[in-house]
Amino acid sequence: MIYTIPDYYQEFRCLASDCPATCCAGWQIVIDDKTLRRYRNLKGSFGSRLANAINWKQQTFEQYEGRCAFLNEQNLCDIHLEAGADLMCRTCRNYPRHTEVYENERELSLSLSCPAIARLLLGRKERVTFRSIERGGVEQEEEFDDLLYSALQDCRELLLAFAQNRADALELRMAKLLALAHDVQNRIQARRLFEVEGVLERYRRPGADARLTERLRRYVAEQSERLSNRERLDELVTLRWRQLDYLRDFEVLDPLWREDLQEWRRLLYGRGCAGYLEAAWKFREAEKEWETEYEQILVYFLFTYFCGAVYDGDCLKKVQMSVTSVLILRELALAEWIRQDGRLSFEDRAKLAWRYSRELEHSDPNLLAMERMMGEWKEAGFESLLTLLLEA
């Protein structure tokens, strides 16, 4: 079995009672079968407490005002304090560690929804690298598409290189990711997997990078020729505004999220197109300082989700979601920057990242909704994203 981890994996330290969020509130914690059996057999007063604070039918801990029944006033876990880490369920023992499962491979990551990880990841200046180790026996699945998985892995390697190429502006990097994923997706859809290596080879050739940049710029210029300057700017603002609409349809995990979303939208678009653009242009200068943070988020999403296309055959949507997540976070950062009169601390940016990740990544319906929107909404499509990235 091959295990792959990002190089910061071992650096995680839980913030415990200093955590601004806690992972024991705001969502249901599902208890695995083995731990549930142990809880059922536990005697004494703690056994009785467990018996009363578990929803045995749903296999979850009961919650009071959105907080786990075992989360005490100091924001610490009573199961951990009274019985030790050994008695915690698998979800609690593992979080924020996340595992993507593939035949004979496990990709381990740390969830951005944890404030400690958001700080760790966004605070990092160097490019993230990944390392693999082999341990244990080989595991084979009958249904697993080895060929597709191997093509996706090769493609992801190139995507990560594009995402981390700091010679390019962030927008151009994201446009290149989309172009590559678009070309690979066409081969997957046409069942011409054997051509993927050729596509990757073309992207790797000397001079290919400059040609691609030129091609992308020409494409967007041709698209925008059909519009006047005014119409072009209106289109740009509408596209940005529509992106936040994805979030409106999400199942809400944190009730404050919905309120903030409304306020962010008001701050951004309540002042009309001209007001919005003026703020956005000023903000652009400010955010250059923390461009690396967006690179880390982009790499995080690509690493976590891209190879999952082996199960649904849609790698373009994974890249659309990664790019869209960065664009949404930039838009929310702009809103917060407006709210705070042109200031936005590192802590504010990390908070936006872990809050967004909680709403998106800790709800299967939201992840599915996001993927669906990437396929159905015109504004999330390949062309619209290119316009958003290269016309701005």
| Contact residues: ligand SF4, CB under 6 A | 14-15, 19, 21-23, 95-96, 114-116
Smallest gap, in angstroms, from Cβ of residue 247 to ligand SF4?
A: 21
Q: Within 13 Å and on the Cβ side, how many CA atoms surround 232?
A: 14
Cα distances from 223 to residues 281, 377, 389, in angstroms, run: 22, 18, 13
User: Is there a contact between 181 and 227 (Cβ–Cβ < 8 Å)?
Assistant: no
CA-CA distance, 385 to 153, in Å (whole number)?
24
Q: Which is nearer to ligand SF4, 22 or 320 (CB)?
A: 22
202 to 86, 155, 167, 184, 196: CA distances (angstroms): 52, 12, 20, 12, 10
For residue 105, the surrounding DSSP H or E stretch is strand 105-110
With a CB cutoff of 8 Å and minimum separation 6, the contacts of 170 are 291, 294, 295, 326
Q: Are 370 and 258 in contact (CB under 8 A)?
A: no
CA 305/CA 316 separation, integer angstroms: 11
The least CB distance from residue 87 to ligand SF4, in Å, is: 17
Within 13 A of 213's CA, how many CA atoms are on the CB side? 12
Nearest to 250 by CA among 332, 339, 373, 334: 373
Q: Is 228 helix (H, G, I), strand (E, B) or coil?
A: coil
Task: Give the separation between CA 26 and CA 24, rounded to whole angstroms.
Answer: 7
| CB of residue 188 to ligand SF4, shortest distance in Å | 36
In the sheet with 105-110, reading across from the earlier edge strand, the strands are 97-102, 105-110, 2-6, 130-134
As measured in angstroms, the least distance from the Cβ of 116 to ligand SF4 is 4
| Minimum CB distance to ligand SF4 smaller for 22 or for 296 | 22
Containing H/E element for 131?
strand 130-134
Which of residues 6 and 96 has its CB atom nearest to ligand SF4 in the complex?
Answer: 96
Task: Work out the end-to-end distance of the chain between its first and last CA atoms, rounded to an integer number of angstroms.
Answer: 45
Nearest distance, CB of residue 121 and ligand SF4, angstroms: 12
Q: Are 32 and 90 in contact (CB under 8 A)?
A: yes
Shortest distance, CB of residue 94 to ligand SF4, whole angstroms? 10
**Smallest gap from residue 14 Cβ to ligand SF4 (A):** 3
Smallest gap from Cβ 295 to ligand SF4, in A, equals 22
**Nearest approach, Cβ of 221 to ligand SF4 (angstroms)?**
45
Min dist. Cβ of residue 115 to ligand SF4 (A)? 5
DSSP letter assigned to residue 249: T
